Structures are given as structure tokens and as C-alpha cells.
Structure 1
């Protein structure tokens, strides 16, 4: 007795295989960075990007340390670095609420330090703020050494990345590649040719920029270096939507095929019983 071939199942498997092959080819084609750089051993020189120091804004937290020959003399200033919570931040150690120490810049752009008093730091770079604090501290201490840095320099990476989150970084000189590295890189479905960067300035203005990581020009872009509170959004490729739909349709087809097979088996059993 010849067994009847279920052509619907065979056609389903062929269609599913075609979807896998097409999606794989599409993914490989879209995951490369800097495709315009020659794939040879020859050195390819790029122009230098001018780095612009970020400016201090209200609600920034500054880590400030003043040191002299006598460490106890400036201890009161060091203790003035109050604890603040950077909610939703992420570091290499984990995700969640992170506590940072520093002086909070108030809405008027001032910090208030023990002994030194109230200082206007809004609009200054950390180097300019360091010089300002050193000049002020020189009135009370001999040859003070001052260190100033951002304690809550944060950037946010969302969309098709492995670890979307807000990241607090210790180094204010961070590039867009550094940020994507923190987020675990783009997923295979992340669109590399149209990243969205949203930047907010201290006067409240917002700027949106599209960046193409498949071209080396991004390395020369004025937006290559990120600023405080920058947002990066990675769009999904159309292939992800197609793949999701294919998986959903496959599941429906499999359920339908199983149901049809059960009905066929039931019909055979019923016909056998009649015989």
C-alpha cells in the first residue's frame, strides 16, 4: 500500500527554508561598519576630529577635590561632595540606581563649597572650573591642587542594541563607538546607516542628527564625540519585522498542519472501524 505524500508540509518546509536563507543574506549584508574603507593592508588615513570640551550645566554633579601638603586642611571641602542618586544609570558593575558623590550645580548655575563659598560654574569646562576653584582656594591654602570632573556624565542608548540603558561614564571624552560598545554593540537587526542622535543644550534647545556608521565620514563628524545627556536610538531593520511575521506565520502553519494531520488520522480510524 502506497503512503500518500502530504505536499502541504513539504511546501511549508521549503518556504520556511527560503525565508531563513533570505534573512541570513540580508543580515550579513547590513552588519558591516565603515564599508567605504578599503579591505586591504594599506593604511587609510582619516582627518582629525576637533574635540570640544563639554560645558557645565545646571543639575550636573561635579566631583571636586582640593589637596594641599596637609591632607587634613582641605578635608572639609572633600566631605562637601554630597551623595546624589543617578536613577536608572548603568555601569560596568550592573544596572539600577547608582549613588555618585559630588557638588550639585543648582538651577542658577552655582555650586556652594565649604570655606570657598558660592561659585558660578555654569557654561565653564571642567578645566576652567578647576582654575576658578584653584584661584579661590589660594586665598585660604598654600599651593592647592584641584581636581574637577563630571560625576554624572551620562548618555542613553536605546533601540536595537544588546543592552539598552542609560550609562554613567567616568570619562567625559566618549565617542559614539564607545557608547555602542557599552551597550554591547548593535544587534544583527540594528540599522547601522541611520542612527538617531538627540542632543540637548543648556538653553533648552534640542538637536537631532542622523549618523551613518557604514561610512567612515562619521569618524570626522562633530557629533563623533558625545556630550552630557546625549540620546542614541538605533532603528530596527525591516528584516526584523519580516522575520517576526515569518515566524508567526510559520507557527500558524505548523498548528494548521498538525490539526489537518490529526483530522486525517481521525478520518482513517473512523473508516477502519466502519469496515
Structure 2
């Protein structure tokens, strides 16, 4: 009887130790970027991927201004509408914001006062500027035109500090820029498996990045396009953190059972 009691006690103690040690067995992934670069003063050059100017798409909102020597003459052309968009910036929270610009309709056209309707989808902002300037020259003398995206947005979700949809003023946005806007990855984010989702017409493209390698600079997807979505997958550490309360509960139950068995064995 005594031998059986000792065996039960020993088994419970082993089970309790296993429960307590389990969280420490989780392998922690490296959180350092570009670990393939030498940690020395030696210079290593990486040729980045070629940047391609984004093209205008339906539902884009464009900031277009036509200017002449007398600004009053182009006041009618520059009349624009305020439109709500979902987005955030590094200084403002996520939510519905208002931007000023011209909406590209479903057919890819933009309609401006006096200048009429122009097909801009498929063009870069530089090409669109040339087209609008040519049209404006029939009404004004030596006009200058500025065109840029007003709702160039990137979405970053998953294991980042500030997941959100970000509206950026610059067309030349990289993967690292987007992660920087989102406050970088949390300690639980899998840096070796960051997913990019991109609309390509009627299809979706899925590309994975390894932030531990400098090869991401050579990727043709390193420069982002409007409406790109970046997803950072949680690692095993996040699972362990979520199970911390459950593990503590099991440890308490195991301790209580051990005490009860010891107490009962003495009767």
C-alpha cells in the first residue's frame, strides 16, 4: 500500500513539474532583421529591385491642381469634392477620414470642370499630368499641373504594434516603410514569414518575405502598390502567451490534488 501511495505521489509531482516547465520549452525566434549581413564594419552592397511607378486604377482619388500666373482663372477647374476614406497615418487613429480630390470612376475616367472627362486609368501620375496639361492648354496659357494620389493606402494587420489601413502621401513605399508606420512587429511576429496580398486585376497574388534575410531588397514586391495588404503571422510564443492563464490554472489544480492525495494517504 505504501509503495502504491509513493508511486502516485511521484507521478503527480512529475506531472506538476511538466506543467510548470512547459512554457519555458517554447522556442523563441530571432527578432533581429537581416541576420545574413556581417556584424562588422565591412561594407556589403545589395542592389535593390527596380521601382516601377504605380498606375492609376478605378476608385482611386487623385489630387489634381491646375495653376497659371493668375490663380483666379483656374479656380473653377480646381473645384473638388471631399470624399470619405478609411485610413490612418502615423499621427492619426484609424477611422473614416475625408480627402479632397477627383474620383476615378469605374470606367477609369476623371471628370474635371471645364476640362471635361479624361481617361486616366492605366497611366502613371506623370503621364496623367502630361495629358491634363495638354487639355488645359486649350483653355489657359502655359498652365502647370500637379497630380498625385490622395488615397494611396496600405493595410498592415497581424502581429504589429498598430494594425491599420494607412494612407501615405508618397508613391514610393517599401515593405519596411509600411511596417514602420504600423509601429514594427511585436515580439510575437514571425519575421521569417511575412505575407503580402496584392490585387492583380481579377486575381490575388500572395508573396512571402523573410525579414531575417537581406534578399527582400531584391524582391520585385519590395516596393508596395496601392491597396496592398501585409499580414504578420503570430509565432509559437503568442500561442504560449495566450495559454499562460490556462497553464497556471492547471498548475494550481495539480498542486491541490497533490496536497489532497498526501492528506488522504495519512488516514
TM-score using structure 1 length: 0.84
* CA–CA distance in structure 2, aligned partners of residues 236 and 133 of structure 1: 47
Q: Which residue of 2 aligns with 1:58?
A: 58
Spell out, residue by residue over 1:194-224, the C-alpha distance to the aligned partner (whole angstroms, 9 max, x if none). 11111102x3222111111111110111000
Bigger relative CO (Cα 8 Å, ≥ 6 apart) = 2
Q: Do residues 231 (structure 1) and 193 (structure 2) align? A: no
* CA–CA distance in structure 2, aligned partners of residues 68 and 259 of structure 1: 85
Q: Which residue of 2 aligns with 1:151?
A: 150
* Unaligned stretches of 5+ residues in structure 2: 1-8
Question: How do 1:174-185 residues align onto structure 2 when only pairs under 5 Å count?
Answer: 174-185=173-184
Give the paired residue count: 255
* Unaligned stretches of 5+ residues in structure 1: 1-5
Distance of aligned partners of 1:100 and 1:259 in 2 relative to their CA distance in 1, 3 Å threshold: farther
Following TM superposition, the consecutive aligned residue runs of length 4 or more in structure 1 with deviations greater than 6 angstroms are: 6-11
Question: How do 1:57-206 residues align onto structure 2 when only pairs under 5 Å count?
Answer: 57-79=57-79, 81-87=80-86, 89-91=87-89, 92-201=91-200, 203-206=201-204
Spell out, residue by residue over 1:147-200, the C-alpha distance to the aligned partner (whole angstroms, 9 max, x if none). 100000011111111111111111111100010111111111111111111110
Two-structure CA RMSD over aligned residues (Å): 2.5
SS at structure 2 position matched to 1:135: helix
CA-CA distance at 1:20 after TM superposition:
5.3
Q: Is the 8 A contact 1:19 1:246 kept in 2?
A: no
Q: Which residue of 2 aligns with 1:3?
A: none
* CA–CA distance in structure 1, aligned partners of residues 41 and 102 of structure 2: 49
Q: Is the 8 A contact 1:63 1:101 kept in 2?
A: yes
